[in-house]
Amino acid sequence: MPEKPLEPTDFSLVTGGPLYRLWLRMGVLRAPLGLVHRRILVMALLAWVPLLVLSLLGGVGPDGGMLFLKGLGAHVRLLVALPILILAELPIQRRLGNMIRRLVSHEIIPAEEVPKFNTTIQRVHRVRDSVVIELGLLMIVYTLGHWIWREYWAQGRTSWYGVMGDSGWQLTLAGWWYAFVSVPLFQFIFLRWVFRIGLWFWFLWRVARLNLQLIATHPDGAGGIGMVGNSAEAFGVFLLAEGVLLAGQFAQRILFEGSSLLAYKMDIFLAVLTMVSLVLAPFLVFVPALYRAKQRGRSDYGALAHTYVAEFDAKWVRKVAPTEERFIGNADIQSLADMANSYSVVRSMRLTPFSAEVVMHLVIITVIPLLPLTLTVVPFESVINHLIKAVL
């Protein structure tokens, strides 16, 4: 008996891989995604609680605990950004799964292309479940990732995780755990998301090469795959985590190191641009298909419009064939307007599956965690006064 083909509803970027299977064995996870709060609790116990305990035990003197509490960047990274990265799996699982089902049910992917589509899903799942890839990510974290953290973020700073001694900068007890457990754990989760987005890019690239049935006059303005572009908003939770991470880093420097928010305006702009571009880039693989559909639509509907307008002109303007029909209220007038509207829809068809509104939503989600930092530039009383004046 031939093997039953994989259903599109089985597609998932997140329910697989060695770490996922480890969660299942530990009983922390129940298929397909399980109880998220359990994983968040495990992560907090592993990444943050030992830092608190070790910082109190010593390594920076009697003020070690106070220095640790002032380590706002680390707290935000491990207690806020990391849980959000875990929570991001839920909306992405639901949104992408629904979108995949609609691609087939709406016949955007025609029946003859479904076997190729299913094969693509199977290949994506095999790569997603690769042990080699996740081991490679771990290797990157403990080599390049550790070097970047030590050379560009930690080295030379006296803090709860490192102090300057006779032999140079040295890690404290909490610093050893932070450097070799907490930071690598966060970097691994983050890099795994980058890998997933790359895998999503590859999947969409293969889908874009199929013989998609795109309709230039589709009201979504994207040939019928506007739902694909709208699914980019599912990655908004991932961007929220990155916004939180940025906010924590800049808040640490502004509140405890004397920096100013205005000094980081270009850094913030480039970071937001990079992260939003990372999420939207995979959807650009549909640009060639949308361009071809638009050109085909302009040609087809242009020819159809020309034929209709020529007949309308011959009948009502030049009166080539006499008619007793009344001009006022005649259906030909409405049909002419409908034809013009259809051609306008074709001309305004986007070359990207996502709209400007989707881009704006993603930017806003990324920037929201940074907004409280504006209070370090504009006094809170001034903000309240402006709000009161605007309302009253």
- Average pLDDT of the segment spanning 370-378: 82
* SS3 (DSSP) at 12: coil
pLDDT at 324: 62
Instruction: State residue 353's pLDDT score.
Output: 95
28: CB partners within 8 A, 6+ apart: 34, 35, 38, 39, 42
Q: Are 275 and 197 in contact (CB under 8 A)?
A: no
Residues 321 and 380 occupy one common structural domain = no
User: In angstroms, rounded to a whole number, what is the distance separating the alpha carbons of residues 310 and 313?
Assistant: 5
Q: Select the more confidently predicted residue: 89 or 31.
A: 89
By mean pLDDT, which of 52-66, 144-158, 265-279, 292-306 is the weakest? 52-66
Please state, as a whole number, how many other Cβ atoms lie within 10 Å of the Cβ of residue 10.
14
Q: Does the pLDDT at position 390 exceed 60?
A: no
- Does 267 reside within a domain? yes
3-state class (DSSP) for residue 169: strand
Angle between helices 18-26 and 131-140 (to 10 degrees): 100
Rounded distance, CA 152 to CA 91, Å? 34
In a domain, 200, yes or no: yes
Is the pLDDT score of 76 beyond 80? yes
Say whether both 323 and 252 belong to one domain.
Answer: no
pLDDT per residue as tens digits for the range 334-368: 777 777 787 788 888 999 999 999 999 999 999 99
Of 32 and 76, more confident = 76
Question: Do both 195 and 274 map to the same domain?
Answer: yes
Query: Are residues 343 and 365 part of one domain?
Result: no
Is 248 in the same domain as 122? yes
Residue 300, domain member (yes or no): yes
Structure confidence by residue, pLDDT tens digits, 101-134: 888 888 899 988 999 999 999 999 999 999 999 9
> Among the ranges 17-21, 28-32, 192-196, 215-219, which has the highest mean pLDDT value?
192-196
> What are the Cα distances from residue 228, in Å, to 198, 224, 326?
16, 9, 47
| Range 174-184 average pLDDT | 92
Terminal CA-CA length for the chain: 74
53 or 65, greater pLDDT? 53
Span 328-339, pLDDT tens digits: 656 666 777 777
DSSP letter at 321 equals S
Q: For residue 353, is it within any domain?
A: no
pLDDT given for residue 4 in this prediction: 44
Q: What pLDDT was estimated at residue 328?
A: 61
- Length in residues, the chain: 392
Looking at the predicted structure, is the pLDDT value of residue 377 above 70?
yes
* pLDDT at res. 3: 44
0.75 exceeded by the pTM? Answer: yes
Asked whether residue 238 falls in the same domain as residue 331, the answer is no
Least confident stretch, 29-38, 205-214, 288-297: 29-38
Query: Domain for residue 146, yes or no?
Result: yes
Q: Are residues 278 and 334 in the same domain?
A: no
Both 248 and 339 in one domain: the answer is no
Is the CB of residue 290 less than 8 Å from the CB of residue 354? no
Q: SS3 for 164?
A: strand
3 inside domain: no
Pair 243, 367: CB distance under 8 Å: yes
What is d(CA 89, CA 98) in angstroms, rounded to the nearest whole number?
14
d(CA 357, CA 171): 47
Residue 136's DSSP bridge partners are none
- pLDDT on residue 41: 83
Give the mean pLDDT of 90-96. 87
Higher pLDDT, 154 or 288: 288
Residues 12, 132, single domain; the answer is: yes
Q: Give residue 185's domain range.
A: 8-284+359-391
Q: Whose structure tokens read 């029946």?
A: 111
How would residue 5 be classed by pLDDT, with cut points 50, 70 and 90?
Answer: very low
Establish if 316 belongs to a structural domain: yes
Residue 232 near residue 357, CB atoms below 8 Å? no
Longest dimension (CA), the chain: 106
Residue type, position 118, single letter = N
Give the number of domains in the chain: 2
Confidence of residue 283 (pLDDT cuts 50, 70, 90): very high
Q: Are residues 276 and 127 in the same domain?
A: yes
Domain assignment present for residue 16? The answer is yes
Q: Does the pLDDT value for residue 166 go beyond 50?
A: yes
